[in-house]
């Protein structure tokens, strides 16, 4: 297999063809100085697509805090303007899709939930967005889980937060990171996921277990070979993720992600490497098992939300089957995976609100 190719359709949360038949290893991405959304493409803004929503009912503040590994995490924190100063509020930490930033999907959810009486914080995972970590775009599942746990530390020290009532919400890949965090931090009282991806299983076996062991080994070998390349002085390469041009979107899943990440609908920031992880670190997901022992989260409640037509639906269904009560699976009719990133007329905000209000008292 050509060493210059590395799974274009493997990073599950981004273009998840993952290990399907005839998937070759695709060209790596070199860093680019700037990314401009396709000016000739008209994004699908139907059904209330509103990724860059800004609420006038909230106080917004950029915050930073350190993980136990010394990395500084950046988040956008939201507090209801009508909150009483002498009342401690329940809080929710919201994680963005894998490879995205807090301004993509997570911040929309954080604001909509804060409007319902919660203190919320949308965080950039380590190595992504405004959070620290080098090399940029590194895959580090353990550190992503620590980001959620460190956010619990931070919120628990705020005068207006009830540290005994803190929950998490993970979107797409962050759903698996939030679960990983909740398994080892009982301070997380309620766990929700939307359009969740088990990033480990997606890399090991692909969607609907369509991959082979040989393809997984090819990915692992390519990542190992990249270590030699870096030691020999070459710049780190980026791989998979959302295609950068409409012409490259050759399947429905690729088109779905392109419509969000590469257009004015959801494009954020200047880096063309957004959504592209480093090749050298990508194989780390092969050792990530977020659903292992997911039943030990009980008796804390878990909520899984997935689109009826989402290619990722099976991940939420699998997690639901493996979890113990109290648990709930919500399938959103006529919704796909990315629909639940920003379509306000489709996202079940009422259900999310009732789940957190019931379980963060």
Measured CA distances, 5 to 1, 157, 226 (Å): 8, 47, 12
The three-point CA angle 155-157-159 to 5° equals 95
Closest among 328, 342, 356, 303 to 119, alpha carbons compared:
356
H or E element in which residue 351 lies:
helix 349-359
**To 10 degrees, what angle do helices 174-184 and 141-156 make?**
60
**To 10 degrees, what angle do helices 313-322 and 174-184 make?**
20
pLDDT score for 10 = 37
What digits encode the pLDDT tens for the residues 107-158? Answer: 999 999 999 999 999 999 999 999 999 999 999 999 999 999 999 999 999 9
CATH class in words for 1-32+200-289: mainly alpha
Sheet containing 161-171: order of strands = 58-66, 72-80, 119-123, 89-95, 161-171, 188-194, 302-307, 327-332
The domain 44-198+292-361 is placed in CATH, from the list 2.40.50.140, 3.90.1170.40, 3.40.50.300, 3.40.50.1820, at 3.40.50.1820
205: its two tokens: 């076996």
Q: What is the pTM of this model?
A: 0.92
276 burial via Cβ count (<10 Å: 0-12, 13-18, 19+)? buried
1-32+200-289 and 44-198+292-361: same fold? Answer: no
Reported as half-sphere exposure (CB side, CA atoms, 13 A), residue 150 has a value of: 26
**Where in the chain are the domains?**
1-32+200-289, 44-198+292-361
pLDDT score for 269 = 74
Measured CA distances, 72 to 92, 101, 134, 149, 214 (Å): 19, 15, 12, 13, 38
What digits encode the pLDDT tens for the residues 33-82? Answer: 456 677 789 999 999 999 999 999 999 999 999 999 999 999 999 999 99
Three-class DSSP category at 162 = strand
Three-class DSSP category at 171 = strand
């Amino acid at each position: 297999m050509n060493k210059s190719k590395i799974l274009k359709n493997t990073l599950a949360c981004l273009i998840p063809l993952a290990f399907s038949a005839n998937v070759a290893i695709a060209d790596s991405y070199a860093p680019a100085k700037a990314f401009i959304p396709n000016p000739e493409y008209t994004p699908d803004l139907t059904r209330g697509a509103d990724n860059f929503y800004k609420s006038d009912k909230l106080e917004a503040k950029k915050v930073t805090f350190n993980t136990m590994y010394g990395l500084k995490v950046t988040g956008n924190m939201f507090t209801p303007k009508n909150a009483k100063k002498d009342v401690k509020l329940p809080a929710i930490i919201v994680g963005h899709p894998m490879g995205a930033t807090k301004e993509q999907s997570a911040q929309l959810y954080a604001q909509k939930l804060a409007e319902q009486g919660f203190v919320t914080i949308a965080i950039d995972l380590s190595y992504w967005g405004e959070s620290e970590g080098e090399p940029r775009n590194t895959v580090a599942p353990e550190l992503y889980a620590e980001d959620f746990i460190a956010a619990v530390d931070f919120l628990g020290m705020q005068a207006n937060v009830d540290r005994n009532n803190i929950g998490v919400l993970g979107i797409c890949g962050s759903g698996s990171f939030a679960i990983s965090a909740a398994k080892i931090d009982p301070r997380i009282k309620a766990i929700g996921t939307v359009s969740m991806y088990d990033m480990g299983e997606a890399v090991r076996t692909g969607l609907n277990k369509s991959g082979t062991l040989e393809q997984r080994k090819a990915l692992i070998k390519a990542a190992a070979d990249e270590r030699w390349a870096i030691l020999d002085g070459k710049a780190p390469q980026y791989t998979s993720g959302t295609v950068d041009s409409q012409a490259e979107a050759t399947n429905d899943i690729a088109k779905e992600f392109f419509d969000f990440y590469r257009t004015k609908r959801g494009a954020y920031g200047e880096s063309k490497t957004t959504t592209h992880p480093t090749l050298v670190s990508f194989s780390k997901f092969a050792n990530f098992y977020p659903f292992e022992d997911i039943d030990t989260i009980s008796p804390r409640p878990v909520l899984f939300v997935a689109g009826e037509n989402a290619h990722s639906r099976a991940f939420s269904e699998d997690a639901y089957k493996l979890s113990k009560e109290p648990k709930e699976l919500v399938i959103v009719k006529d919704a796909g995976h990315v629909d639940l990133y920003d379509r306000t007329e489709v996202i079940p905000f009422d259900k999310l609100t009732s789940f957190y209000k019931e379980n963060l008292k």
